[in-house]
Structure 1
Amino acid sequence: MKFRVERDALADAVAWTAKSLPSRPSVPVLAGAMLRVSDGRLHVSGFDYEVSNQVDVDVQADADGATLVSGRLLAEITKALPAKKPVEIAAVGSHLELVCGTARFTLPTMPVEDYPTLPELPASAGTVDAATFASAVAQVAMAAGRDETLPMMTGVRIELSGEGLALLATDRYRLAVREITWTPGDPDFSANALVPARTLADTAKTLGPLGGEVTIALSGSGTGEGMIGFVGGTRRTTSRLLDGQSYPPVRSLFAPSYTSEARVPVAALTEVVKRVSLVAEKATPVRLSFSDDGLVVEAGGVEEARASEAMEATYSGDSITVAFNPQYLVEGLGALNAPTAVFSFNDPVKPAVITPAGDDGAVIEGFRYLIMPIRVGR
């Protein structure tokens, strides 16, 4: 194997592939990035039996072939190579030689024959706008759980029905729901899939800036034995599905109507919550008191440390004081992608819902963030 490739294209391809490689692989070859050259293209791939990544790059090939090297090491090297210079790579015996300008590296290779075969991409289910998909995933994935002992909560549920695509994630203390449209291959297509949140977030973040459309490929539905694939440009990712057969009916947490509503500037409230919570210990809630006079944000910490700050807010309903985890509140506000947050309440101890609104005050449909309040004494 011998080829020449542009430095930036190589560094970008290797970095994306290496990002998902396991830091402590069950077998050494799973820490490797597979470089395979054929028909004037370089295929860079990684696989850990759960997630596979592959990207194609145009190269000037002198000889086809394949080699397997440490993905993370190769990513660090290609990132540090001299800019705007082509990279010459050749497999020589049991080593890979990499030359860029006056920089030269020799890396040991691993047995190609020991590397597992990448899974086949499932059948295409439809396409979705790349930028819209990336934005929607970013809004939802942050609400997924991080407790690996509860794998179901670490996923993002994708609900596909006709031209509707819904993303849902919850860690039991909050719930994010984003609804967008997509183009199914079959107008009557319907399926649900529970995808690991981290994999989905990394994939969407990478494919979004490429523009165009993302192809969603799916096999199985709702079980851990299924697989989902995403293709955008020259990149593709496959991931096993989590078992979502017992996923809770989280939509029922949204009340049919609410008795109180507040409208608060997102940027101002975010700053106030961060400032006031400086006196609070980790996981200590902040209290939001809404009334006709506006909003007062308060927090208390150890050794009688206290903080409060008043700010403008438009409120309708009986006065109410509700307490939230400040991190969950700030993350929810950040996910709105809008200048105004609309809070809807029924009771201080029942879930509150935050939705985005534009400069004209109109609610922006499609995203809802439900957050569970924390019971506190005054």
Structure 2
Amino acid sequence: MTEFGSEELITIGVLARASGLTPSALRFYDDCGLLVPARVDGATGYRYYRESQCARAVMIRQLRGIGMPLEVISEILAGDVGRAARLLDAHVLELRRQADEAAVVARTIKSTIGDEATGQTGLSAATLATAIDQVRSATARTDEIPVLAGVLVEASAGSLTLTATDRYRLSTRTMALGRPAADWSLVVDAGDLASIGSWLREAEEVTVAPATGALVVVAGGSERRCRTIDDSFPDYRAMLTGLAPVRTRVLVMRDRLLDMTEGYDGTITFSVEATELALSRADGRTARLPVTLTGGPGIDLAFAATTLSPAIGAALGPEIMLDIAAPDLPVLIRSATDGDLTTLVMPTAHPNSKGHNV
């Protein structure tokens, strides 16, 4: 084996066996800068590591094993013990929240499996409350077009779908029902749906059904009626199926991006680079966020923060994905951990060009 100063070097295969990581994973962590070899042979490209790097490799494997994002792992390994402890505690709290959600989903599925025997219908009340919060932020804030102040609620076979749009943003989420239902759809007043959120979170299961001029929601032996809007909702499915091919996918930390948008009412310019997302606000504030990039860099686009921030805030999990087709086409925003919610956000025009809407 090779020596590096007074410390013996080991091959990537030896480190892989000692740490429980694969050689391909070690090469990936080298590319990410998390675990850089002590020496790379210029002629063969072989990577050599110090034996002492095995402890770092094992820690990376353990952190990835509990779903820790790469950017956070880098901070934990930076050497600030207090910061590392806070990041680990925050991640554990997030895992507990996800576990609680998983338990709700499991109860819903178990009730679905037992539907033939029990005759029960409906879905998780907590899931419906979360979906309402995620989707209704995309409703219009004015009554210029009344139907856009509502949420489209659709039942089809074994699913319930909520959709809202203000023409600059579109959010839609589909949830499984306890048992197949007849097809129906209503546009429901977003304010009425918002008002039942706390009531839903105190219940376990909820049923929903159409009625004359209302959506009837029943949970825990009580009933709520949400007013409907008698107008045709835009054909959002045609928009989703007609999206242009994705040119660039950006995986970025949700909280870092939200920090640049939340509470700000101006324009934010995005510049997609090979390893970073460069952000610039009209008030002079800037940030450079590490990203994982699929596709080509070099795309510049801009957003109204008041349009983008709710879309980011509605996504779950520590990381979000931005699917970009072109600077003047809708950007698809999804959580990296929750694929049920789909949000489209229209970039704002650059100076000296006209705005667009979805």
Give me the TM-score of the superposition, normalised by structure 1.
0.57
Task: State the secondary structure of the residue aligned to 1:327.
Answer: helix
Q: Is the 8 A contact 1:207 1:214 kept in 2?
A: no
Matched residue type, 2:295: G
Counterparts of 2:153 and 2:320 in 1: how far apart (Å)?
25
1:260-303 Cα shifts (integer Å, max 9, x gaps): 1000000111113349x5xxxx4x310111110311000224xx
Letter in 2 for 1:216: V
Matched, 1:371 2:345: yes
Q: Are 1:207 and 2:199 counterparts?
A: yes
2:49 corresponds in structure 1 to none
Match of 2:268 among 286, 294, 317: 286
Q: Give the residue type in structure 1 aligned to 2:269.
A: R
Aligned twin of 2:235: 249
The CA RMSD over aligned residues, in Å, is 2.0
How many Å separate the matches in 1 of 2:189 and 2:260?
33
The answer on 1:272 being equivalent to 2:245 is: no
1:240 equivalent among 209, 223, 227: 227
Contact 2:254–2:312 (8 Å) recurs in 1: yes
Deviates more, 1:347-356 or 1:148-157: 148-157
Distance 1:236 1:376 in 2: 48
Cα distance in 2 between the residues matched to 1:136 and 1:172: 20
Matched, 1:219 2:211: yes
Structure with more of its chain in helix, by fraction: 2
Task: Find out whether 1:229 has 2:247 as its counterpart.
Answer: no
Q: Which residue identity lines up with residue 290 of structure 1 in the other structure?
A: V
- Report the alpha carbon displacement of residue 217 of structure 1 after superposing the two structures with TM: 2.5
TM-superposition CA deviations, 1:28-59 (whole Å, max 9, x none): xxxxxxxxxxxxxxxxxxxxxxxxxxxxxxxx
**2:109: which partner in 1?**
none
Partner of 2:307: 328
User: In structure 1, the residue corresponding to 2:143 is in which secondary structure?
Assistant: coil
Give the deviation of 1:196 after TM superposition: 0.2
Contact 2:322 2:334 in 1 (8 A): yes
Residues 126 and 217 in structure 1, CA contact (< 8 A), matched pair in contact too:
no
* Structure 1 match to 2:191: 198
Match of 2:143 among 143, 148, 167: 148
Deviation at 1:334, TM superposition (A): 1.0
Match of 2:320 among 341, 353, 366: 341
Paired residue total: 230
| Equivalence for 1:172 | 167
> 2:155–2:181: 8 Å Cα contact kept in structure 1?
no
Pick the structure with more strand per residue: 1
SS at match of 1:312: strand
For the 8 Å contact 2:333–2:342, the answer to whether it is kept is yes
| CA–CA distance in structure 2, aligned partners of residues 312 and 285 of structure 1 | 21
C-alpha deviation, 1:235, in angstroms? 3.1
Distance 1:156 1:355 in 2: 19
Identity %: 27
SS in 2 for 1:269: helix
Q: How does 1:10-89 map to 2 (within 5 A)?
A: none
* Cα distance in structure 2, aligned partners of 1:375 and 1:140: 24
Contact 1:292 1:316 in 2 (8 A): no
**C-alpha deviation, 1:188, in angstroms:** 5.3
- Residues 176 and 367 in structure 1, CA contact (< 8 A), matched pair in contact too: yes
CA distance in 1 between partners of 2:175 and 2:244 (Å): 21
SS in 2 for 1:132: helix
CA contact (8 A) 2:253 2:319 kept: yes
Matched, 1:158 2:146: no
Give the match for residue 293 of structure 2.
Answer: 315
**SS at the partner of 1:206?**
helix
In structure 2, the gaps of 5 or more residues are 1-119, 353-358
Q: TM-score, normalised by structure 2?
A: 0.61
Which amino acid is the alignment partner of residue 240 of structure 1? Answer: R
User: Does the Cα contact within 8 Å between 1:258 and 1:346 map onto a contact in 2?
Assistant: yes
Amino acid at match of 1:309: A
1:361 aligns with none
Residue 312 of structure 1 deviates from its aligned partner by: 0.6
* Local SS of the residue matching 1:337: coil
Give 3-state SS (helix, strand or coil) of 2:144's partner.
Answer: coil
Query: Is 2:261–2:306's contact at 8 Å kept on the other side of the alignment?
Result: no
Q: Is the 2:192–2:227 contact (alpha carbons within 8 Å) kept by the matching residues of 1?
A: no
Quick one: structure 1 residues 217 and 321, their matched pair in 2 at CA, closer, same or farther if it must change by over 3 Å? same
How many Å separate the matches in 2 of 1:175 and 1:228?
22
**Aligned AA (1:288):** F
